[in-house]
Structure 1
Amino acid sequence: MKLASLLKSSAARIGRSAAGAALGLGLTVAFLASAPADAFAQTAAPASVPQAEGDGPALWVIRDADSTLYLFGTVHVLRPTTAWGSPKVDAAFDASQNVIFEISNPDDQAAIQPLIAQYGVSPDRPLSSLLTAEEIAELNEAAGSIGATAAQLDPLRPWLVGLTLSVAPLAKAGYDPQSGVEIILKARAEAAGKPVTGFETIDEQVRILATLSEDTQVAFLRATLESWEDATTELDALVEAWATGDVEGIERLGVDEMRSASEEIYQALLVRRNANWADQIQALLAGSGTTFIAVGSAHLAGDDSVQEILEDRGVTVTRQ
């Protein structure tokens, strides 16, 4: 393969994996709902979820003498018509006394705005100093999809622009953050009086993206400019794997793609966070009660998944 083709192929993989990884962050719901030009319509969470064929998305359980912890992988942005309802998931959720997400307030638009201002703006390193004239022209064309121009985006950091542009096509394909799993489960939890907490804060999640090296951020943005209209196709495949409980498919499409494209992204968005969550899960096991844990499905697939880390520490995790 010629060098130019190799670089383009690598960039495309980074774009796909980074976009998928960003969609795996719980903050995505708040971010998308407050995106420039109101990329997604403001709608209420669906009252009901279409029932999945077969067993639906995967569910795991961890038990000791006085604790039961359910692990459920999610997708943060879905079409309202996505069929993922599952009696076993409903039963586990109903039996739980409290609910834990990646972050407790995935729909908090007010919380995301000051963080974008703090971590997403870099006037001393404008995009025009990082991209070629041809890439700026491509950026201007892509920016039109969110009602903006390259000049308006120029002061923003590459991670923020790449994320914004990579998710913009999803609205046209019918994806809606209000149909995401966490928003629906949070509404159910609040209606049932179940406490909702998070493993992380929105601030921590934004800083994960903001502290990626500039080279990786720019590579993500460049790849997004090359293939931003393919974001829907990539997400469609991941959603299909998730909704049918195909954990191997999630590993192949999400986890493996991410690692092959960028070890930095893989370590930052999956490995270190999974280890931190495993610590918190073990602390929960030291207590008592029943807890429902719902996190991005990529965290529950692959050799560095939350389950694998727990198993390595002697904790038994069983798929339901």
Structure 2
Amino acid sequence: MRRAFDVIGTCMRRAFLGLLAILPIASPASAEPALWVAKSGNATFYLFGTIHLLKPDADWRAPKIADAFAQSGTLWLEMAEGTQGQIDQSFIWKYGKDPAHPLYTKLSVPERQKLRAAAQKVGIAPVTFDSLRPWLAALTLSKAPLQQAGYQGEAGVDNQLLNQAKAANKKVLGFETVEQQLRFFADLPPEMELALLTQTIDGIDAATDQLDQLAGAWLAGDVAALDTMLKGADSAVGDKRLRKVLLADRNAAWAERIATLAHDGGTHFVAVGAAHLTGTDSLLTLLQRRGFTVARL
């Protein structure tokens, strides 16, 4: 279960991307990920959408990003604790395991067979899933093919920024705690939990290609492509409640926090998953509604 939650942000995206057709997005000749600036009074917030898993050789540090980071006194991440995969195992037991109700008892016979086949395909012993709740089984299963393709949590943008901030003695703060993030999944209704696992199993063969395309669009700063992926995937999931829980509600909470911070001024670098900066309920849109001036750099 080590570093099981390096994939947490990716699985949030995959909840929407599970059945979406692959978009033909080429890798950019030079990386230019999207960066925005939001201002209110004497406060400046650089807003950077991240990818939580990347290949170690991905080059994303455009000069404008480096400049914005250097100007910022504080780095804000989705969560500051546990960002590098050091999750308290007690939380995993509390929210992710259910040995009294083995996973196979929650699945139909065909679903059990599909889970077994998917696990074997990515090199995980099927017995590994027996004590896991469906949401944790989905995350664990999602991670394996991405690792095999060379994606690493340690290479994720969040971890790289965290290490850079520590080296520069910048303050690092998080919008959420590890426990809060786990509960986004653990508090899902049982049918949504099972749906997440089913979508993960069905999409196991396409998972790496999907992340390749997502990473390509992100590196190119192709916000329109990212938005198209997410919009199309909403209908693929068939239940917009998941988007509300994992994106919309969190965006609203973060916008409120940023609006409060703005009263004290200062310059902040906000790095959150790229999906939070696309769509009509994005963090950018919510800040504009609160009176911030928002512009892409």
Matching residue of 1:122: 98
1:266 corresponds to which letter in structure 2?
R
Q: Distance in 1 between matches of 2:187 and 2:103?
A: 17
Q: Report the alpha carbon displacement of residue 271 of structure 1 after superposing the two structures with TM.
A: 0.4
Q: Report the alpha carbon displacement of residue 272 of structure 1 after superposing the two structures with TM.
A: 0.3
Q: Distance in 1 between matches of 2:74 and 2:175?
A: 13
Q: Distance in 1 between matches of 2:92 and 2:51?
A: 22
Identity of aligned residues (%): 38
Q: Report the alpha carbon displacement of residue 168 of structure 1 after superposing the two structures with TM.
A: 0.9
State yes or no: 1:206 paired with 2:182. Answer: yes
Q: Distance in 2 between matches of 1:60 and 1:245?
A: 11
Specify whether residues 110 and 54 from structure 1 end up closer, same or farther in structure 2 by C-alpha distance, changes over 3 A only: closer
Q: Report the alpha carbon displacement of residue 145 of structure 1 after superposing the two structures with TM.
A: 5.1
User: In 2, are the aligned partners of 1:78 and 1:175 still within 8 Å (CA)?
Assistant: yes
User: In 1, are the aligned partners of 2:85 and 2:153 still within 8 Å (CA)?
Assistant: no
Specify whether residues 255 and 19 from structure 1 end up closer, same or farther in structure 2 by C-alpha distance, changes over 3 A only: farther
TM-score with structure 2 setting the length: 0.86
Q: Which runs of 5+ in 1 are unaligned?
A: 1-17, 26-51
Specify whether residues 206 and 293 from structure 1 end up closer, same or farther in structure 2 by C-alpha distance, changes over 3 A only: same
Larger mean CA deviation between 115-124 and 125-134 belongs to: 125-134
User: In 1, are the aligned partners of 2:40 and 2:292 still within 8 Å (CA)?
Assistant: no
Q: Which runs of 5+ in 2 are unaligned?
A: 1-7, 16-27
Q: 1:175 is matched with which residue: 136, 151, 154?
A: 151
Matching residue of 1:166: 142
State yes or no: 1:288 paired with 2:278. Answer: no
User: In 1, are the aligned partners of 2:84 and 2:159 still within 8 Å (CA)?
Assistant: no
| Partner secondary structure for residue 75 of structure 2 | strand
Specify whether residues 197 and 267 from structure 1 end up closer, same or farther in structure 2 by C-alpha distance, changes over 3 A only: same
Query: CA offsets per residue over residues 67-98 of structure 1, 9 Å max, x none?
Result: 21110000000011223120000000001111
Q: Distance in 2 between matches of 1:97 and 1:227?
A: 41
Matching residue of 1:42: none
1:227 corresponds to which letter in structure 2?
G
Q: Report the alpha carbon displacement of residue 206 of structure 1 after superposing the two structures with TM.
A: 0.4
Q: Report the alpha carbon displacement of residue 157 of structure 1 after superposing the two structures with TM.
A: 0.5
1:22 corresponds to which letter in structure 2?
M
TM-score with structure 1 setting the length: 0.81
Q: 1:223 is matched with which residue: 159, 174, 199?
A: 199
Specify whether residues 183 and 20 from structure 1 end up closer, same or farther in structure 2 by C-alpha distance, changes over 3 A only: closer
Q: Distance in 1 between matches of 2:100 and 2:219?
A: 44
How many residue pairs match? The answer is: 277
Q: 1:250 is matched with which residue: 212, 218, 226?
A: 226
User: In 1, are the aligned partners of 2:10 and 2:52 still within 8 Å (CA)?
Assistant: no
| Partner secondary structure for residue 212 of structure 1 | coil
Specify whether residues 315 and 99 from structure 1 end up closer, same or farther in structure 2 by C-alpha distance, changes over 3 A only: same
Query: CA offsets per residue over residues 92-136 of structure 1, 9 Å max, x none?
Result: 000111100000034354434221111111234322222122322
Specify whether residues 315 and 259 from structure 1 end up closer, same or farther in structure 2 by C-alpha distance, changes over 3 A only: farther
Report the structure, 1 or 2, having the larger helix content. Answer: 1
| Partner secondary structure for residue 272 of structure 2 | strand
Matching residue of 1:88: 64
Q: Report the alpha carbon displacement of residue 174 of structure 1 after superposing the two structures with TM.
A: 1.0
| Partner secondary structure for residue 72 of structure 1 | strand
Q: Distance in 2 between matches of 1:234 and 1:274?
A: 24
Q: Distance in 2 between matches of 1:259 and 1:115?
A: 32
Larger mean CA deviation between 66-75 and 258-267 belongs to: 258-267
Matching residue of 2:116: 140
Q: 1:77 is matched with which residue: 50, 53, 63?
A: 53
What RMSD, in angstroms, separates the aligned Cα atoms of the two structures? 2.2
Matching residue of 1:29: none
Which runs of structure 2 are paired with 1:17-36 in the superposition (5 Å)? 20-22=10-12
User: In 2, are the aligned partners of 1:106 and 1:183 still within 8 Å (CA)?
Assistant: no
Q: Distance in 1 between matches of 2:186 and 2:107?
A: 18
